[in-house]
Structure 1
C-alpha cells in the first residue's frame, strides 16, 4: 500500500509491504517506492515508462 506522489507529505509519506517471500518483498517495496515518488503504472494516466 502506498500513496502516489506523497513522499514529502506529513500524513501520507508511508508504504506498507508485507509478505513471506523475500524476493517478492523487495520487488514490491521497490514498486511501492516508485508510487511514493509519483510514478504510475504503464498505460495509466500520463505514464511514459
Structure 2
C-alpha cells in the first residue's frame, strides 16, 4: 500500500485513543507511528527483556 498519512484522515471528532501492544519495533511500531500521524492519541506497550 502506498497511501500517504493524509489520505483517509478522519475529522477530529472521529479520532480516538488507541493502545498498541508490541509497539517498540517492527509492525507494532509502524502501526503506532501511522495512527499517530493520522492524529490519534496512541499509547504503546512492550514486553521487557527481563
TM-score tier, shorter chain, comes to: 0.3 to 0.5
Q: Structure 2-normalised TM-score?
A: 0.33
Q: Which has more strand, going by share of residues?
A: 2
Q: Report the structure number with the largest CA radius of gyration.
A: 2
TM-score, normalised on structure 1? 0.33
